[in-house]
Amino acid sequence: MKKSFELGMLALLAAALGGVAWWSARADEPTQSVPRNSFAVRDARVFDGEQFIERATVVVRDGRIEAVGKGARIPKGFDVINGQGKTLMPALIDAHTHVWGEAQRDALRFGVGTELEMMGAMQSLPGYRDQRDSFARTDRADVWSSGAAVTVPGGHGTEYGFPVPELKPGEDADAFVRARIDEGSEFIKLMIDDLHAYGSTHRMPTLDRAQIEASIAAAKRQKRLSVAHVAAQDDALHAVNAGVDGLVHAFIDQPASDGMIAAMKSRGAFMVPTLSVIAGFGRTDDSTKLAADARLKSRLSDAQIATLHARFPPSFPFQANALPNALETVRRLHAAGVEILAGTDAGNPGTAHGVSLHGELAMLVRAGLSPAEALRAATSAPARRFGLKDRGHIAPGMRADLLLVDGNPSKDIETTRGIVSIWKNGYLQSGDAPAADRAGGLAESDRLISDFESGDMSTRFGSGWQAASDRFMGGKSIANTVWLASGAGGSKGAMRVEGDVMAGPTPWAGAMFSPGSTQMQPVNLGTRQAITLKVRGTPGDYVIVILHGEGQVAAVPVVVGEDWGEIRVPLSKFVGADLSRVMSLGISNSRIGHFRVDLDDVAIE
């Protein structure tokens, strides 16, 4: 990926001086109208991303940090926040998440200004890039993403019910990696896991050694960082020796060996241990304690509380030694000088975006990091490793993504939970948990989803179409979507959904559209009347489906014929559906066998 960056002479001088004032802003003329993303925090303890400064003032102008230090002058007219007794730090960076639904809002509400997504929806990548390039007011964390991971047919990452690119035997790894970069992937993630680390006799297909080595080499040639999902130490050691830049889980089968430590140290590899999710493998109570913490409860949504209490299903083997092994691995690697980054794997049971990073910091300290080292692992270290040049530090020119907490986290890392204020792009954020029924509505102009006239499956709003099936529930059905160069009534195009429904407990396959700006983000359709579309396909019964509330499903049967026909489904027919929180809508088929259905002019009236 991008090369690691240095802070520059000013920051280096600051480190040499041990945190004394190193920057004085000039005395500005009085301003007639001060932007709301211009302010100052005076006399706070400052963690600048590397070290603590016991007393300093931080001045923010137009969403960027302008001055830092005891002698920093505050321009006239700026709002001034009294920082006495408080600590100001960069907004945190979660170095391992999966983003969907309200994830970005949830993260920012807990002071996490940036998430590194370790596999996610390719359709979301342009929107992520546009947001993080902007200084506009927002209530969402920024995201850098790997997009689709490097995996094999049937491998980890293919089981979630939607199609993903797969590196097949004999295929060119260079071409595969280039395709991911063309889609917008900022770094390359490899899935290396056949399940043997979990003590199970079941095996999942995974990348072979030649594919691993070729993919890592391809990422290096494309100047992209490569990271690896691993669960077993032998897989981790091979990946490191092959040149992977980082491991984005601690392996769980055993603590790090001397050979593993030596390999990571000599090659400069880092680890994102994701202790938060690994704790869930052993059914610990770490996440429920986090949910019960009085300092955090007022910011938690109902959905976050539910996911913190969620557990991996009984079919997932209980791993009593997973967390002890991972903690010992972190302790050994850290003692040897291997860099540790903070990441949670939020999006999995027992985790929640934003809040889990505060739990992760405490577990890193439990594993031997000092509070300052844990904070570096969640600020400057991931910024440096992933080339995030405008964040992770409090220094002149940096983006004003900031977190102010009550007390001194250099003495007690749990002080980060006492959140006083959060700023994103210099704008103060609300700390209130969202009401359970609150979701943003669509713009009045957001009616036509897709007419497919542009030669692709792009949408006018929302986060795109996605083929979907019962695979995420353990089924074997498959579906794919392609653009079709002929639409209803002689139009230029349509979308074809084609696949095979396989027998199983709840067989289905089809395509879904997410109306929110990120996958599965709920929107309020309470003022809308109907879903309309033109459709043809394999004759028979289908259903128009919406996913609503906290993940409930509502469906209305429709009949599709061989010729184009128009269907209008009043939203009132989705009996019992919470239309104020609709996460996705689409069409599904449950009849066993091959099917094909073409869609055109899909809209929400």
Give every strand in the sheet of 582-589, ordered side by side.
465-469, 509-513, 582-589, 540-548, 552-560
Element (H, E) at 127: helix 125-133
DSSP state of 376: H
Q: Is the pLDDT of residue 304 over 90?
A: yes
The string of pLDDT tens digits covering residues 210-223 is: 999 999 999 999 99
Which CA distances in Å does 243 have to 213, 214, 225, 240, 267? 8, 10, 10, 5, 7
The string of pLDDT tens digits covering residues 485-520 is: 999 999 999 999 999 999 988 899 999 999 988 778
Q: Name, in order, each residue with C-beta under 8 angstroms of 559's C-beta and a sequence gap of 6 or more.
A: 540, 541, 542
Strand partners for 498: 480, 596
DSSP state of 76: T
What is the rounded CA–CA span in Å between residue 395 and residue 48? Answer: 7
Task: Look up residue 49 and give its two tokens.
Answer: 């991303």
Task: Look up residue 17 and give its two tokens.
Answer: 């001086």
Do the Cβ atoms of 155 and 166 come closer than 8 Å? yes
Do the Cβ atoms of 187 and 386 come closer than 8 Å? yes
Write the DSSP assignment of 258-279 as a string of letters. Answer: HHHHHHHHHHT-EE---HHHHH
Do the Cβ atoms of 178 and 217 come closer than 8 Å? no
Instruction: Please count the residues of the chain.
Output: 605
- Write down the pLDDT at residue 436: 56
Class of domain 90-428: alpha beta
Burial, 97: exposed, middle or buried (Cβ in 10 Å; 0-12, 13-18, 19+)? Answer: buried
**Residue 296 vs residue 437, higher pLDDT:** 296
Report the pLDDT averaged over residues 443-463.
Answer: 94
Task: Look up residue 573 and give its two tokens.
Answer: 């027919």
Q: Is the pLDDT of residue 235 over 70?
A: yes
Neighbours of 258 (CB within 10 A): 9
Do the Cβ atoms of 588 and 508 come closer than 8 Å? yes
Question: Binning pLDDT at 50, 70 and 90, where does residue 439 land?
Answer: low
Phi, psi values for residue 289, rounded to 5°: -65, -40
Pairing of the two strands 530-537 and 593-604: antiparallel
**DSSP E strand boundaries for 340-464:** 402-406, 419-424, 427-428, 448-450
Q: Name, in order, each residue with C-beta under 8 angstroms of 117's C-beta and a sequence gap of 6 or more.
A: 97, 98, 99, 128, 143, 144, 145, 146
What is the rounded CA–CA span in Å between residue 20 and residue 464? Answer: 50
**DSSP E strand boundaries for 353-508:** 402-406, 419-424, 427-428, 448-450, 465-469, 478-484, 494-501
Q: Is the pLDDT of residue 172 over 70?
A: yes
Q: Which residues of 269-304 are buried (b: 16+ CB within 10 A; e: fewer)?
A: bbbbbbbbbbbbbbeeebbeebbeeeebeebbbebb
For residue 586, the SS3 value is strand
Q: Is the pLDDT of residue 338 over 60?
A: yes
The string of pLDDT tens digits covering residues 103-136 is: 999 999 999 999 999 999 888 899 999 999 999 9
Task: Look up residue 142 and give its two tokens.
Answer: 């920024």
Phi, psi values for residue 504, rounded to 5°: 180, 180
Which residue shows structure tokens 């102009």? 445
Strand partners for 468: 510
Taking each helix axis from N to C end, the angle separating 322-336 and 258-267, rounded to the nearest 10 degrees, works out to 50
Task: Look up residue 366 and give its two tokens.
Answer: 């439990």
Report the pLDDT averaged over residues 41-54.
Answer: 98
Report the pLDDT averaged over residues 23-47.
Answer: 68
**Sequence spans of domains, the chain:** 90-428, 448-604
Report the pLDDT averaged over residues 37-61.
Answer: 97
Do the Cβ atoms of 598 and 496 come closer than 8 Å? yes
Do the Cβ atoms of 278 and 252 come closer than 8 Å? yes
Do the Cβ atoms of 496 and 601 come closer than 8 Å? no
Do the Cβ atoms of 78 and 38 come closer than 8 Å? yes
List the single range of 352-366, 542-556, 568-582 with lowest mean pLDDT. 542-556
- Write down the pLDDT at residue 4: 32
The string of pLDDT tens digits covering residues 359-400 is: 999 999 999 999 999 999 999 999 999 999 999 999 999 999
Report the pLDDT averaged over residues 89-112.
Answer: 96
CATH number for the region 448-604 comes to: 2.60.120.260
Taking each helix axis from N to C end, the angle separating 258-267 and 233-241, rounded to the nearest 10 degrees, works out to 30
Q: Is the pLDDT of residue 7 over 60?
A: no
Burial, 122: exposed, middle or buried (Cβ in 10 Å; 0-12, 13-18, 19+)? Answer: middle
